[in-house]
């Protein structure tokens, strides 16, 4: 029996190399967990069993040939919005239910080059809009810590997959918190890299100025290995950037900023006390703690819910029932084709965002909403720029509370939107951020995980890895 619970990429690599188990046995072990638990938790929408086993055999060969790298033979789960050639990618939506990717996303290309094993595609909120996976057209994913609760979202499937060891690592996407918030709800690590540091080519777009693919893992070290495998500039994404590796700083000198004022808005008492314990722990580890001010960051949610729907309304215009996905015949009338295909293909939250986004971009309202939000986005970015003159990383809780119950917030979109208060700012400002597990709270007989979030300057993911590893004692 392979001890999946304590496995890391590094340990798996060493074990395959030493002959403790083969890459095929490792993949089979994960497939077995999926078989046992997937029907209860609804994590994977599809398992690519045959392809995965074939990739695992190829990985074995690479170990024999001496061409194996760290990711060779490592089983990965993919969020359902990341294209993998000849496999369905539905983005959790009816409109793409039968859409088969015609090319590999850049991240999948890089995973293939490294010899990783792709286990399957995981459930998500439709087009990555949501915080609970309740907006998936294919049913909610259940939180493994308490199946009455949501796993978070929108990358809820990828996160639950890692939490129950039905994948060693997973990829999610993060537009306003979708790797970090579910990670906090499921007790794993969720990482959102600097905007542009990973190619978006082949990621089904939500908000193009905010989207980034990110690792979801059981350890910070695994997030680092996965990030290093998939990062880099790409000719297919003009917003992608190459990694800047200059001036690494030593941890003993790292100063941690806490935006105290910002934390006082609507946060669960237990989250605050867990957060304060984490701060004391970091202080006792020798980090200097400094109070900082981020005066405009409190406007993140309204700014995000103007800019992201605006981009959604534009990005989702391509789903017209003609070129992609679901087509419903409008009786020979093109407009009817559009209306019927989009009307029945998109779920209610996606429709709400398209309507909202179209409205804020419409002539007469563009200045009042979209342009104003873009101006405030600058102010938020400037708040961080100033704060990073004084501190190296900024610490906040990841969420305002532990995982909520399935159905608890479905009738109140604003409550759902407020979930993004701590995670959204890093997307608005394009900064790297990581959520790491920080403990548990007892609720109705379950132990529910919590997370804290570190944010760093652009392209200083190295600082996040360093402090994250120290915090988790890796
Ligand atoms: N909760 C946010 C939204 O619904 C963020 C989702 C995401 O990061 N993809 O838009």
Shortest-distance atom of ligand 1 to CA 130: 4
CA of 130 to the centre of ligand 1 (A): 5
What DSSP line would sit under 288-349, residue for residue? EEEE---TTGGGHHHHHHHHHHHHHHHHGGG-SSSSSS-----SS-HHHHHHHHHHHHS-HH
Residue 256 CA to residue 252 CA, distance in Å, equals 11
Q: Where are the alpha helices (DSSP H) in 199-299?
A: 220-230, 260-263, 269-284
Which residue out of 127, 133, 134, 153 has the highest number of ligand 1 atoms within 8 Å of its CB and is therefore the one to mutate?
Answer: 153
pLDDT of residue 266: 77
The model's pTM: 0.98
Note the pLDDT of residue 213. 98
Q: What is the DSSP letter of 146?
A: B
Q: How far is CA 382 from CA 70, 374, 386, in A?
A: 38, 13, 6
Reduced to 3 DSSP states, what percent helix, strand and coil does the chain have, rounded to the nearest 5? Answer: 45, 15, 40
pLDDT of residue 245: 61
Contact 325, 98 (CB under 8 A): yes
Give the per-residue pLDDT at 248. 62
The torsion angles phi and psi of 89, rounded to 5 degrees, stand at -135, 110
Contact 191, 468 (CB under 8 A): no
Q: Is 131 in the pocket of ligand 1 (CB under 6 A)?
A: yes
Give the atom of ligand 1 at the shortest distance from the alpha carbon of 427: 8
Is 311's C-beta closer than 6 angstroms to any atom of ligand 1?
Answer: no
Ligand 1 atom 5, closest CA = 176
Atom of ligand 1 nearest to the CA of 175: 8
Residues 6 or more apart from 253 whose CB is under 8 A from it? 392
Helices 300-315 + 372-390 axis angle, to 10: 130
- Whether the ω angle into residue 154 lies within 30 degrees of 0, i.e. cis, is yes
DSSP string, 81-99: TB--TTSB--TT-GGGTT-
Query: Of the listed 105, 154, 166, 199, which one is catalytic?
Result: 154
Does residue 177 have its Cβ closer than 6 Å to ligand 1?
yes
Mean pLDDT by 10 residues, the chain (474 residues): 96 98 98 98 98 98 98 98 98 98 98 98 98 98 98 98 98 98 98 98 98 98 98 97 68 87 86 97 96 97 98 97 92 95 98 98 95 98 98 98 97 96 98 98 96 97 97 98
- Predicted confidence at residue 434, as pLDDT, reads 99
User: Which phi and psi angles does 450 have, rounded to 5°?
Assistant: -130, 165
Nearest to 401 by CA among 181, 217, 189: 181
Return the sign of the alpha-carbon dihedral for residues 417, 418, 420, 424. Answer: positive
For a mutational test of ligand 1's pocket, the pick from 79, 129, 214, i.e. the residue with the most ligand atoms closer than 8 A to its C-beta, is 129
Catalytic residue among 93, 105, 178, 197: 178
Degrees to nearest 5, angle at CA 355 with 354 and 361: 90
- Cα of 87 from ligand 1 centre, angstroms: 24
Q: How confident is the model at residue 243, as a pLDDT?
A: 76
3-state secondary structure of 435: strand
Annotation marks residue 79 as catalytic: yes
């Amino acid at each position: 029996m392979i001890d999946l619970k304590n496995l890391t990429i590094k340990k798996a690599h060493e074990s395959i190399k030493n002959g403790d188990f083969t890459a095929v046995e490792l993949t089979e072990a994960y497939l077995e967990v999926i078989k046992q638990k997937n029907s209860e938790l609804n994590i994977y929408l599809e398992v690519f069993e045959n392809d995965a086993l074939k990739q695992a055999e190829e990985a074995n060969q690479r170990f024999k040939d001496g061409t194996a790298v760290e990711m060779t033979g490592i089983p990965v789960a993919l969020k359902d919005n990341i294209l993998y050639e000849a496999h369905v990618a539905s983005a959790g939506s009816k409109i793409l239910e039968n859409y088969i990717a015609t090319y590999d996303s850049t991240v999948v290309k890089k995973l293939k080059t490294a010899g990783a094993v792709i286990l399957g595609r995981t459930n998500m909120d439709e087009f990555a809009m949501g915080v609970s996976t309740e907006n998936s057209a294919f049913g909610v994913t259940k939180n493994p810590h308490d199946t009455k609760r949501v796993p978070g979202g929108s990358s809820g499937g990828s996160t639950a997959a890692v939490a129950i060891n039905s994948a060693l690592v997973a990829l999610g996407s993060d537009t306003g918190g979708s790797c970090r918030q579910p990670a906090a709800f499921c007790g794993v690590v969720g990482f959102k890299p600097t905007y542009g540091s990973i190619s978006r080519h082949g990621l089904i777009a939500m908000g193009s100025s905010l989207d980034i693919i990110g690792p979801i893992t059981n350890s910070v070290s695994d997030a680092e290995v996965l990030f290093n495998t998939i990062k880099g500039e790409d000719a297919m994404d003009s917003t992608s950037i190459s990694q800047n590796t200059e001036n690494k700083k030593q941890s003993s000198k790292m100063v941690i900023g806490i935006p105290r004022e910002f934390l006082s808005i609507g946060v669960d008492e237990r989250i605050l006390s867990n957060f304060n314990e984490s701060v004391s722990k970091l202080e006792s580890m020798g980090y200097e703690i400094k109070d900082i001010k981020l005066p405009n960051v409190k406007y993140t949610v309204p700014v995000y819910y103007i800019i992201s729907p605006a981009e959604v309304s534009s990005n989702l215009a391509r789903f017209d029932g003609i070129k992609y996905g679901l087509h419903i015949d409008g009786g020979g009338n093109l407009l009817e084709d559009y209306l019927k295909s989009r009307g029945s293909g998109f779920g209610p939250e996606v429709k709400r965002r398209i309507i909202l986004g179209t409205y804020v971009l419409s002539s007469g309202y563009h200045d009042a909403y979209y342009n104003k939000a873009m101006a405030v986005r600058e102010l938020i970015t400037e708040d961080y720029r100033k704060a990073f003159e004084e501190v190296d990383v900024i610490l906040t809780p990841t969420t305002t509370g532990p995982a909520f119950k399935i159905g608890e917030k479905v009738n109140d979109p604003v409550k759902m939107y407020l979930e993004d208060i701590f995670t959204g700012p890093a997307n608005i400002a394009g900064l790297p951020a990581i959520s790491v597990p920080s403990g548990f709270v007892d609720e109705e007989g379950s132990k529910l995980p919590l997370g804290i979030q570190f944010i760093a300057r652009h392209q200083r993911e190295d600082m996040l890895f360093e402090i994250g590893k120290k915090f988790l004692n890796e």
